[in-house]
A and B are shown apart, each in its own frame.
Chain A
Amino acid sequence: MSILRHNMKQGRNMLIIWTSVIAFMLAVCILIYPEMGRQMSEINSMFSDMGSFSAAFGMDKINFGEFIGFFGVECGNLLGLGGAFFAALLGISELAGEEREHTAEFLLTHPVSRRRVVTEKLCAVLLQIVIMNAAAITVTSLCVLAIGETPDIKLLALLFLAYIMLQAEIAAVCFGVSAFISRGGFGVGLGLTALLYFLNIIANLTKEAGFLKYITPYGYTDSSYIITNAGIEVKYLSVGIIFTAVGIASAYFKFEKKDIV
């Protein structure tokens, strides 16, 4: 457990900053909802009348007049982009960071197996994602109570679950990548996340590009699907779980035999 503890301590500042920013933005968005809600009827028709632009962001199927519809889109932007960027940074920096800073030499000349290093570092990544989401859920609940809304708890939970899965998938894929590279990586992590986000937008725009939803985790976090069907789209989610598993497995496979130079 000492590697996990050490990594949590090393990442503490970054975790605090990202968590506070995301939680603060969530709070702001939820607290301005009542004000926006009054003008909702206009906004609703405006948002859904922007043609393919609305479709790209999945806003054509959502009712902004209801809190859950509004939250689905806001939550999507904050947890889906902010949270995913954070997850990517966590995943990409754990293994490659040790090599970049040349601390891998320090760590791996202690009697710890490579497998244990990967396991504890992976746990540190996932634990930080869980902490960030726990804070986001807490702030959301408090703010929802404060504005007196009563959204469907199951839908809210499903939205959060989808985003946790998305963050875990991006972190796992970046974690796998980080075993193959020995320096840098931040650009790779952020670039990959942005790419996946835009793939989803393209998939929303044209039917022919629909297959992209299998590739990008944003396929299964589509809030309009989750809200209308009260469930996460299984076909996209299962592919996501496979990607997650592949990311983790390749990290073990590669790091076990990697030369630390």
Chain B
Amino acid sequence: MNIIETNALTKYYGKSRGIIDVDLSVPEGDFFGFIGPNGAGKSTTLRVLLGLISPTGGLARIFGMDIVENKEKILGQIGYMPSEPAFYHGMKVSECLRYSARLRGMDCAYEAKKLCERFELDTERKINELSLGNRKKVSIVCALQHMPKLCILDEPTSGLDPLMQREFYSVLEDRNAKGATILLSSHVLSEVQHHCRHAAVIRDGQVMACDSIENLGDAHAKRVIIRGTGVPPSIEGIKDVKIDGDSVNFLYIGKPQTLMDALSKLPITDVNIAEPDLEEVFMHYYRKMEEN
């Protein structure tokens, strides 16, 4: 069964574009990544799913129920973490967590305590005195303390330090193993690659690809810079080559092993393999679409 299913979901803000004809299907128990540059429509899609904004066209169902008609019922099973969490002025962390639980008509004290310990969150501090990273942690606990069946997380790791990011993903993987479905948006490609099983790529309000991470394959793109040789390796998947003296700069899309084998045969003096800009990967998707 699909936990989330959208059909030509569209949102216009007046005349300006939000999202256009978004078709998504997220199966139960999936770890789903939603990836795209800033302003592509990731947050708009999530906000429509949560009922914060109403769609101008199309349909969306969560847990098999229409999001407009059964909003409260659906929200009861969802944990949501906004990209920029905001809380009430002057409230302590513990008060905020209790308020969130009360709005759900639940007592989540046990789970909240466990999560706060795991994220080293001081519940006696006032939220407006906390740094962005710590406010994000409050938001994580709010989103997870009631053991939701579906977690919708909007840019969850921005502002979290690497240690906490790891802790965060390990909690999500625990929850996922227990059956929760995870939908997270990100503009960091490697994050989605490492943690998600399926992903959708969105740009300019439209979904450009929606598939498993393996099939998206191209998501394994690397930006490679080699020195010492004036030519790129002669293998498949080399794109966007820039040669400057003895340094060669190219985008590689394919299996890492093939690249390493080819590189080992070249007289290179230096090598740099980095995550490509998301923009580059999207440009590639653009071209692929045009070719098709």
Contact = CB atoms under 8 A, between A and B. Distances in A.
A111 B51 CA distance: 11
A208 interface: no
A150 interface: no
Contact of B99 (A6, A104, A261): A6
Interface residues of B, number: 28
B72 A112 contact: yes
Interface string B241-276: 000000000000000000000000000000000000
Given A109-B78, A111-B75, A112-B72, A259 B88 contact: no
Contacts of A10: 88-90
Contacts of B78: 109
B202 to A, nearest CB: 18
A38 interface: no
A261 B53 contact: yes
A260 B47 contact: yes
B53 A2 contact: no
B159 to A, nearest CB: 15
Interface string B37-60: 000000000010011111000000
Contacts of B84: 102
Contacts of B53: 259-261
Contacts of B52: 104-105, 108-109, 259-261
A113 interface: yes
A208 B228 CA distance: 94
B86 A103 contact: yes
Interface in B59-88: 71-73, 75-76, 78, 80, 82, 84-88
B102 interface: yes
Given A2-B99, A102-B84, A108-B51, A113 B71 contact: yes
Nearest to A116: B72
Contacts of A2: 99, 102-103
Nearest to A113: B72
B229 interface: no
A6 B89 CA distance: 12
A134 interface: no
A152 B33 CA distance: 73
Given A2-B99, A110-B104, A111-B103, A101 B75 contact: no
Interface string A1-12: 011001000100
Contacts of A113: 71-72
Contact of B103 (A102, A112, A261): A112
B54 A259 contact: yes
A257 interface: yes
A107 interface: yes
Contacts of A261: 13, 47, 52-53
A260 B52 CA distance: 5
A260 B90 CA distance: 23
Interface in B90-133: 90, 99-100, 102-104
A108 B82 CA distance: 12
Nearest to B89: A101
A109 B86 contact: no
B50 A109 contact: yes
Contacts of B80: 109
Nearest to A112: B103
Nearest to B154: A105
A102 B75 contact: no
Nearest to A2: B102
Given A10-B88, A103-B86, A110 B54 contact: no
A168 to B, nearest CB: 26
Nearest to B142: A106
B54 A106 contact: no
A192 B142 CA distance: 39
A107 B71 CA distance: 14
B5 to A, nearest CB: 20
A110 B100 contact: yes
A107 B87 contact: no
Contacts of A107: 103
30 contacts: A3-B103, A6-B88, A10-B90, A101-B86, A102-B86, A103-B87, A105-B52, A105-B82, A105-B86, A106-B85, A106-B86, A107-B103, A108-B52, A109-B50, A109-B52, A110-B75, A110-B104, A111-B72, A111-B75, A111-B104, A112-B75, A113-B71, A113-B72, A257-B54, A259-B52, A259-B54, A260-B47, A260-B52, A260-B53, A261-B53
Interface of A: 2-3, 6, 10, 101-113, 257, 259-261
Q: Closest 5 A-B residue pairs measured CB to CB?
A: A102-B86, A111-B76, A110-B103, A259-B53, A2-B102
